[in-house]
């Protein structure tokens, strides 16, 4: 039930990232009111102040914001951010396309030398560049990643009609939001159910599963997203708070 998540860690305060003094990050709009309604003292911070050690943190403090800020906060608390598990093996039957680990150099060779078109995204450091389709040498320019040994995921390129994000708290979908493509096309709820059942013992306490409908009508799983710093896409504030709090306290454990 939304707003009634039982937390394993006693939280007293919340720190929300601001993009500039007095202005919350867009995904956090209204979250301050939700958290205050749950009895937390809420303040804001700037990432530059956090990175300079000017923001006091304790294990009674909940932190929400963009990925870099939340990972910095976890580090200050002595917690290693979890390695991303975008494509859990238990979900292989629902990916609907070939996906494999590689290096940037090997992936680039397949595109430039063999003329392949691939979807490529970072594997270990998730925000080093945005995952996208690479079809030529030009697509690698300005990537910001120099090492050919950088770990990446490669995937077969498929025709995608629409994309939805299922927000999950303790294995229960608390919201389904459309975020790209044709909003008139709906994902198959049975596939969402089956994927959740397959991943029930391994999902983070708060996370999201991205689904797509392909050109041939199949609903497939695009990827798993950890919930400690997650795009909102208009998700209800109570559900969003439940998800972030569930994952944060799980990591504090």
Residue 205 lies in a domain: yes
pLDDT for 56: 93
Q: Which domain holds residue 213?
A: 89-93+159-227
- With 70 as the cut, is the pLDDT of residue 1 above it? no
pLDDT at 194 over 80: yes
Q: Is the whole model's pTM more than 0.85, yes or no?
A: yes
In a domain, 4, yes or no: no
Q: What is the pLDDT of residue 4?
A: 44
Query: Same domain, yes or no, for 191 and 135?
Result: no
Residue 10 pLDDT: 87
| pLDDT > 70 in the chain, percent | 95
Q: What is the pLDDT of residues 152-164, one digit of tens each?
A: 999 999 999 999 9
Q: Is residue 57 part of a domain?
A: yes
Q: In this structure, what DSSP letter does residue 18 have?
A: E
Q: What is the pLDDT of residue 159?
A: 97
The Cα 181–Cα 145 span in angstroms is 29
Nearest to 207 by CA among 252, 166, 236, 176: 166
Does residue 175 share a domain with residue 140?
A: no
Query: Has residue 128 been placed in a domain?
Result: yes
Whether 245 is covered by a domain: the verdict is: no
Residue range 68-89: average pLDDT?
95
* Residue 253 confidence (pLDDT): 86
Q: What residue spans of 47-166 are helical by DSSP H?
A: 47-51, 67-76, 104-112
**Do the domain assignments include residue 241?**
no
DSSP 228: S
% of the chain residues with pLDDT over 90: 88
Tell me, yes or no, whether 134 lies in a domain: yes
Domain count, the chain: 3
Q: Are 151 and 177 in the same domain?
A: no
Question: Is the model's pLDDT at 21 over the cut of 90?
Answer: yes
| Residue 248 covered by a domain | no
In this structure, are 57 and 35 located in the same domain?
A: yes
Q: What is the DSSP code (8-state) at residue 125?
A: S
Instruction: Supply the pLDDT for residue 143.
Output: 85
């Amino acid at each position: 039930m939304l707003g009634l998540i039982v937390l394993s860690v006693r939280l007293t305060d919340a720190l929300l990232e601001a993009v500039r003094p007095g202005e919350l990050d867009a995904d956090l709009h209204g979250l301050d009111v939700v958290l205050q309604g749950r009895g937390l003292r809420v303040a804001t911070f700037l990432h530059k102040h956090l990175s300079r050690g000017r923001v006091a943190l304790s294990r009674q403090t909940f932190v929400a914001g963009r990925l870099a800020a939340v990972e910095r906060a976890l580090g200050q608390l002595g917690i290693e951010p979890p390695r991303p598990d975008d494509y859990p093996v238990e979900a292989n039957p629902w990916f609907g396309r070939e996906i494999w680990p590689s290096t940037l150099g090997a992936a680039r060779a397949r595109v430039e030398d063999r003329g392949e078109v691939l979807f490529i995204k970072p594997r270990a450091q998730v925000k080093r560049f945005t995952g996208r389709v690479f079809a030529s040498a030009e697509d690698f320019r300005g990537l910001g990643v120099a090492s050919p040994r950088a770990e990446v995921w490669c995937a077969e390129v498929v025709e995608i009609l629409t994309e939805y994000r299922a927000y999950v708290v303790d294995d229960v979908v608390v919201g389904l939001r459309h975020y790209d493509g044709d909003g008139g096309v709906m994902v198959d709820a049975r596939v969402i159910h089956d994927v959740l059942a397959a991943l029930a013992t391994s999902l983070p306490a708060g996370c999201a599963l991205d689904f797509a409908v392909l050109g041939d009508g199949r609903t497939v799983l695009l990827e798993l997203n950890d919930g400690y710093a997650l795009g909102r896409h208009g998700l209800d504030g109570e559900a969003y708070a439940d998800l972030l709090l569930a994952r944060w306290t799980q990591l504090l454990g």
